[in-house]
Amino acid sequence: MALTDPAAFPEGTRSLHFAITNMKIADIQLLLSQDPKAVHEKGFNGQTPLHKAVMTCSIQVVDLLLAYKADPNALNDFKETPFHFACKHGDVLIMNLLLQNNANIKLVDQSGKGPIHHAVHGGSVLALHFLTDACGLSTHVRDTNLSTPLHVVCAHGHLEALDYLLRKERSDLSAHNSHGNNAMHIAANAGNSWSCWRLLEEGGLELLYQQNREGKLPLDLITNQKDLKFKETWDLLTYYTKCNQKSGRAKGPIVGWYFHGLLPLLSYPLLVILASQTSRSGAITLAGLVVLSIVLLQHSHRMNHVCRWPNPMYLALFFAGMLHSMICFYYSVLPGVAKESARKPGSLWMYNVQDIADGTLKTRAFCVVCETDHHCLFLYRCIARDNHRLFLGFVFVIIIEMLFFLYATKLYFVMLDPEHETTSALIRDVFNSRPWQWSLFVGNAFYIVWGIKLLAFQLNVVSKGHTTAYQPNEGRTRLSRKQRLYNIVYFFMDWGYYATDVLDDIKAFNI
């Protein structure tokens, strides 16, 4: 509940800073309305209410204080402005609001650190990109200690911000501060092994042999460190120093990466093939799957290497599952039932051509390709009555997948350049610059239409009790809409047909 009288504030808390810290909007408005000059009062370390509001990341409070003429360039005891605080917290909305209210982007603190230094200290890539792309600031700026933003990010170990600074020549990896330390010295001294690895990848092994003003190499700075956090850094730098290779770049575990990627793809079919050669294939397959599962669960999402490459095993597992499922569905599940005739009720014997000659089966049950039952379609396989439902389900799933592809590709096209004023302008740009993507987009759109027509045709045939190969009376039927609807339901429930046209039976008898 908001306090309506300043006198009601407890002793020692009768300040705007207290209200901002506790996010009491009504109390902030009350204090400002009764004493507008309170917006300039300074508290701990010379911080103004606007400093405090930026620290709470409340754009509502910041906007309110600015409305009461809060100074966006006010300095605390370390000459830091509210804009510096916003950069450190990575809040682009507040940064933009302060700039709109005349925040000076060129101000630096008592250490000579400007907005870029504060942004990398907080590790926000979004804030960094806003300052460089929208505000035009350089990432090569130095403070009074001659430290660049790269030095700062290596000291704090912000991995994404480091990657950002290593791209597009945003940093000079050989730059030294006033103590002669390069980025590798600073990363090693902080025990940031991943930062050291990325520097070796991008800047080369020569960074290991650059000395600071005391004549020390990066490895020398951590020689006597006992903290466990330095162990991985020590192992990394020691390994490459002993290699005595002073040129080239560090390379990741390429062989290990491919091994992890191929393991799920190749181990499963090998297991199935070997198990099928034994008399206990089921038990061996189950045991093998358990072993493979245990092996997979012991791997994290990143490789057990200082490079921290993403572990491809889980991507490979997903791809292998999709690939083997498609192969199994296409070559086994979908056409497998049609490789042999149906079994006779209550018997182990299967129907054959003699049953057609005896009148037990109708002539439409014979497939001239498979020499068993029913017709063959475009899949190079027989689609018979027993697996017809699987085929329709397959077509339906493919249509859904293509729809998702169209939606995702459309978003991709729009995100390429959101500034296109018209759809025609976007189409022209995509047509000339993205032939692979738009051709697949058009192809999938065409096949969706074709797939829907195929599905509609198949359901129409099913509703009449017909098949693609057997459509008596030129496909005409006397069944009612209700009967045809029930035929579709019965078809998917595998209950046979709900109703058939007597003319169809007469026609079949006369074949």
Chain-centroid distance, C-alpha 122: 24
Q: Could you give phi then psi for residue 243, rounded to 5 degrees?
A: -65, -20
Q: Look over the chain and give the mean of its residue pLDDT values, rounded to a whole number.
A: 83
pLDDT at 329: 64
* Most confident of the ranges 78-82, 421-425, 462-466, 506-510: 78-82
Q: Which two tokens stand for residue 185?
A: 């010295």
- The CA–CA distances, whole Å, from 365 to 56, 121, 384, 386 equal 76, 75, 9, 11
C-beta of residue 375 within 8 angstroms of C-beta of residue 383? yes
C-alpha to C-alpha distance for 78 and 87, rounded to whole angstroms:
16
Q: What is the pLDDT of residues 157-181, one digit of tens each?
A: 999 999 999 999 999 999 999 999 9
Q: What is the pLDDT of residues 333-360, one digit of tens each?
A: 555 444 455 556 666 566 666 666 777 7
Q: Residue 76: pLDDT above 70?
A: yes
Between 394 and 134, the higher pLDDT residue: 134
Q: What is the pLDDT of residues 83-130, one digit of tens each?
A: 999 999 999 999 999 999 999 999 999 999 999 999 999 999 999 999
Averaged pLDDT for residues 498-510: 56
pLDDT at 342: 57
Averaged pLDDT for residues 444-464: 89
Q: What is the pLDDT of residues 181-233, one digit of tens each?
A: 999 999 999 999 989 999 999 999 999 999 999 999 999 999 888 788 898 89
Q: Which string of DSSP letters, residue by residue, matches 143-211?
A: -TT---HHHHHHHHT-HHHHHHHHSTT---TT---TTS--HHHHHHHHT-HHHHHHHHHHH-GGGGG--
Averaged pLDDT for residues 303-311: 80
Q: Residue 309: pLDDT above 70?
A: yes
Q: What is the pLDDT of residues 362-415, one digit of tens each?
A: 655 555 444 444 444 444 455 556 667 888 888 888 899 889 888 888 888 777
pLDDT at 6: 46
Its CATH class, for the domain covering 141-251, is mainly alpha
Q: What is the pLDDT of residues 400-440, one digit of tens each?
A: 988 988 888 888 877 776 666 677 777 777 777 777 777 77
C-alpha to C-alpha distance for 403 and 461, rounded to whole angstroms:
25
pLDDT at 384: 55
Domain boundaries defined on the chain: 141-251, 254-338, 377-510
C-alpha to C-alpha distance for 183 and 4, rounded to whole angstroms:
55
Model's pTM, two decimal places? 0.64
pLDDT at 151: 97
Between 159 and 506, the higher pLDDT residue: 159
